[in-house]
Amino acid sequence: MNDDHKSKGYRFLELKVVGDEEMVEFGQLIGESITAPLLITLIGDLGAGKTTLAKGIIASQGVDEVVTSPTFIIQREYEGRLPVRHLDLYRFSGARSLDLMDIDLFDEDTLRLVEWPNAVEFEVEADIEVKIESIDDGEARLIRITFDQNVDERTYETIASFAGRS
Ligand code: ADP
Ligand code: MG
């Protein structure tokens, strides 16, 4: 697994984010660092903080609408600097509508934020994969990020400098 990642030029980052506000701030930094409409997957248990991070990323695109979880409607779109699609595939287990999935997930002109990517039966290949885990009795989150090789070096460097903050 690690060797496979290395040969494909994947990069990793790990950081701790404390509280809601910093989570949104980190999402904003991720969004500001992005120059292309990437596919970002947000992975973690219910209550991990996926939607909170998505809020920051969506705000970074100049969207001032209130962002709410698309759990029941599966997808919500926003007109930002990059057009944004926020998807929650939690209720999609079994991928009943693959056609719809194709349109939503493979639209490369759109910044796609995908919660529960593993709910569908095919592999969702992220440009940036974000795994979130609750730590410190729920007071903070451990975030692990994998960058595909096609992600801009500056995007990685910007996020890495936030990760390396003291
Ligand atoms: P998910 O979309 O993964 O189900 P949410 O984004 O709705 O999770 O967040 C669930 C809860 O976690 C919210 O109460 C939110 O305030 C809290 N939370 C989010 N990020 C953090 C963090 N970094 N530290 C502590 N609590 C957080
Ligand atoms: Mg959510």
pLDDT 10s digit of each residue in the chain, 166 long?
A: 444 554 566 999 999 999 999 999 999 999 999 999 999 999 999 999 999 999 999 999 999 988 988 877 778 999 999 999 999 988 776 555 566 666 678 889 999 999 999 888 788 899 999 999 999 999 999 999 999 999 999 999 999 999 998 6
Q: Which ligand is nearest to the CA of 53?
A: 1
Please tell me the pTM assigned to this model.
0.92
Instruction: Look up residue 152 and give its DSSP letter.
Output: -
Q: What is the pLDDT of residues 109-148, one digit of tens each?
A: 999 999 999 888 788 899 999 999 999 999 999 999 999 9
Which residues lie across from 113 on neighbouring strands? 40, 86
Dihedral sign (CA 60, 66, 71, 73): negative
What is the separation of C-alpha 116 from the centre of its chain, rounded to a whole number of angstroms?
10
Q: Which domain holds residue 152?
A: 2-163
Residues surrounding ion ligand 2 at CB below 5 Å: 50-51, 69
How many structural domains does the chain have? 1
Instruction: Give the CATH number for residue 103.
Output: 3.40.50.300
SS3 at position 105: helix
